[in-house]
Every structure is written in structure tokens, then in C-alpha cells.
Amino acid sequence: MSQEKVFAEWKERESVAESMIPLVGHLYRERNVEISVYGKVIVNRSVIDIIKAHRFARQITGTELSVFDTYPILQALSELNVYAAHVDIGKLAERYAEQGQDQDLLAFLRAELADAPQNSREGQGTDVVLYGFGRIGRLLARILISKTGGGQTMRLRAIVVRKGSADDLVKRASLLRRDSVHGSFRGTITVDEENNAIIANGNVIKVIYADAPDTIDYTSYGISNALVVDNTGKWRDADGLSLHLRATGVARVLLTAPGKGELKNIVMGVNHGDITAEDKILSAASCTTNAIVPVLKAVNDKFGLEYGHVETVHSYTNDQNLIDNYHKADRRGRAAPLNMVITETGAAKAVAKALPELTGKLTGNAIRVPTPNVSMAILNLTLKQDVTKEELNDYLSWMALHSEMQKQIDFSTSPEAVSSDFVGSRAAGVVDGLATIVSGNRCVLYVWYDNEFGYSCQVVRIMQHLTGSTLPVFPKE
């Protein structure tokens, strides 16, 4: 194909992708319909982002998917009476090409979306409070704010912090606006000093100053029956976290760290079915536990797992020192930006809380490395049966595209992928297919994960489950 034809085709694809943006935006804002392409959400995305989402399918399946395939699906979808759903137009286009072309497109979509909600959800939804506003707290705020445009039934109403200085409010807003790892906030942020609030994309977020959870009366801020997300890690067991329940206006508490004692550690997509109405305090486990448990479950379900070792190569965190200084833990006092630091991880033991069938089968350790974000878990596993590299990778790539753990497991086949390429990944973990090693019944899997943003996405998924705001997914597998 000539250079002129290639460029002309590219411009045409750009034009079609540009035409998709208002349709995607209308469906999201007016009907709370979230559009994706093979699980890659294209709400509030640019023309190039939409085209890249279509290319993802080719990377995994080898099959070309173009905006020319999905645009008619999107047009027809806008004519249907569908509300409050997650619709994957990539999968619908593939399914229509395989089995539906002998029927009208609208008729095909009506059949595929027959079980989708037919009207909008009423009510104000659930109030959310972020207790602590550090790395995870600010990323949770960004995600929650981005989702309110679709009328999601969660609203970020307040953050709770200790006042640091006279210009504390301005500094909090500035940290939300700018991030050295994740870039600028997508939208506008203003400071309302009179009402001690941050206004982000139309969301009024009260900033509450408090020294202890049980001293706050949230109802005085118009907040009631709130889901409080504790990002401080100061309290890790049920007794400590119950302080939040003593505050007026709190209904439930979610910890963004591994829970201790009998506290349920939830990995969304794996054991969220264990949550009951009586569970008022829950843990979202750790970033590493979230990264490895879905992959371990997938492998164990298919091939069986005898035992294994998890080695975590983890970015440094605020718990370490910038320069050599005293630290209560061994080695963590050494300068984080200058050293690889061997340290402990509880992730391997924590697996048993989400997957009891793997109790006693895993060991683990960790190495902190001089990168600010994105980590890797190396899973050295002995299986109950022999397997080939192709069989294992084919299975895990299928899980990434078609299984109920699609949002938890992603898959990469790029020969040039490095850690920075996974900044902003929404998956709990991304299997690096080219790095997979298999010999008989032994295998080594390399799983990348954005230990900040990917984990925060998992936390939000638990929040959606707790508040009944998880969107049903179509087409059904």
C-alpha cells in the first residue's frame, strides 16, 4: 500500500474515532453506560487513546479490530434503551462478525443486551469519605471524581486529614492537581476556603481536620451512612478500625492495607463473594496480594498448584528513608533511591486469606528497588501437571480477555515492555507473556503491577461492590 493510502486510511480512522467521542460521552453522562473495547474503557479518552484501545485486541489475539468495526455498534447502541451497564463494543463487534451478520444489527444488539437495565437509577447514592490523603487517597479521589460524570452511586463527600499548616487546603489541592508519577489531574480544581472544600470537576469535597476517627460528626457536614476508606494504615485490626464506626454518620469501613487478625482481606474478583451484610469493617489487602492472587487462582483452577515461591521486586515507598537514617525495620533505613533492599513481605501468607486452598503452599520475600512506582511479582510455581509455555500463556491471555477476572488479570506480549510502561495500568496484575518460563510441571510467571493506581482501581471495585454500584457487563461470556 502506498504512503498516501496508508496516511489517508489513518486520517479516516481518526475521523471515525473522533465521531465516537460524543456518543461515548452521551451514553456515559446521560445513561451511565460505560463503553470499553476488550475491557479498555474509552470514556473521557482522546482520539489516539480510542485507536490504541482497538490495537490492544490485535496484540493479544492476533486479530485486527478497527474503529470501522465498532462505530456501527456504538451508533446502534445509542438508539437502544440501555442504562447503567458496562458495554464492551469490541467483543460485540467480534461476536457480530462471527455469528450475527445474518440478522439486523439492532436486532442482534437487542438480543445481546436483553438483560441490561432499561431505566436510570434513582437516588443520591452512597457518601464516601477518604480518611487520609496520601498516595492511595489521592488516587482514589481521582478515580471517584472521574466516575461521578456517569451518575455512579458513590460520591466523594470529604477527606479527613490532620492540619499541617496555615495553607493546608491549598497544598492538599495542589497535590491532587499534580503528581510526579501519574501526571496532572484530568479536569479543573478550585479551592473554596470559605467552606474549607476542594471543588474538582464539580465535586464539592469537604476537607475535615481531625486527630481521631471517633471525634467526627459527619452528619454536621451533610454526610450520612458513609463508607469510610482508611488510607492511613494506622489501624489494621477490627478493634482499631472500629473507631470509625463510633463516629456519627458512618456505616462501613474499608482499609487500604492488609488487615490483621480475623479481618477479612478482600481481593476483588476472587473472594468478594465472602462479603456479607454483617461485615462492617473490611480490608482491601495489599497491592502485591491483589496482583498475585488472581493469577494464582487462575493457575490453580486450571492446572493445580503444589507449592511455590513469590519474589516481589517492589518500588520504594514512604516507609523507607531517602537517605541513610534510623529505621525500626532491618535494611529499610538505607537510602531508598540508591539501593536494592531485601525486606520481608506478608503477601505470600496473605494469599491464604483470599484463597484458603493455597494455605501453606507459598513462601515469599521482597526486594525494594530505586523506582517510584510499578512493581513485579515473580511466581516460581510447581504445578500438579505438566504444561507447555504456549498452553499456559494461551490460558492466561484468555483469562485476561474473557474471564470474570478480566479486570484483575491483564496480559502483555510486548518485547520492549519495561516498568514505566505499566504506570496507570488499571489491572491488579499484568502477566508478561514473553517472560514466561515452563519446564514440565514447573513454571515461572512475571507479573507487573502498578502498586499505586492498579491497586487503587481494585479498591474502587470493592467500594462499588459494597455500595451496589457495580455495572453489569455486556456481552455476557
Query: In what order do the strands lie in the sheet containing 189-192?
Result: 189-192, 197-200, 203-209, 154-161, 126-131, 226-230, 250-255, 281-283
Helices (H), 39-177: 47-61, 67-79, 89-95, 105-112, 135-147, 168-177
DSSP for 362-399 reads EEEEEEEES-SS-EEEEEEEEESS---HHHHHHHHHHH
Please tell me the number of Cα atoms within 13 Å of 171 on its side-chain side. Answer: 10
- What is the rounded CA–CA span in Å between residue 82 and residue 76? 11
Who's near 30: CB < 8 A, 6+ residues apart? none
Helix (H, G, I), strand (E, B) or coil at 75: helix
287 catalytic? Reply is: yes
- What is the rounded CA–CA span in Å between residue 313 and residue 85? 37
Task: Identify whether the C-beta of residue 5 lies closer than 8 Å to the C-beta of residue 20.
Answer: no
Helix (H, G, I), strand (E, B) or coil at 99: helix
Enter the C-alpha cell of residue 142.
Answer: 481521582
Helix (H, G, I), strand (E, B) or coil at 448: strand
Please tell me the number of Cα atoms within 13 Å of 288 on its side-chain side. Answer: 25
Name the burial class of residue 289, with classes exposed (0-12), middle (13-18) and buried (19+) by CB atoms within 10 angstroms of its CB. Answer: buried
Enter the C-alpha cell of residue 66.
Answer: 478497527
Q: Residue 8: what residue type?
A: A
Q: What is the dihedral of CA 260, 457, 234, 291, to 10 degrees?
A: 40
Active-site residue, from 73, 287, 376, 428: 287
- Determine how many CB atoms are found less than 10 A away from the CB of residue 86: 18
- What is the rounded CA–CA span in Å between residue 334 and residue 356? 36
Length of the chain equals 477
- Determine how many CB atoms are found less than 10 A away from the CB of residue 336: 24
Name the burial class of residue 39, with classes exposed (0-12), middle (13-18) and buried (19+) by CB atoms within 10 angstroms of its CB. Answer: buried
Enter the C-alpha cell of residue 133.
Answer: 490523603
Question: Could you tell me which residues are beta bridge partners of residue 432?
Answer: 412
Q: What Cα–Cα distance (Å) separates residue 463 from each residue in 253, 403, 458?
A: 10, 21, 9
Give the residue numbers marked as catalytic.
Answer: 287
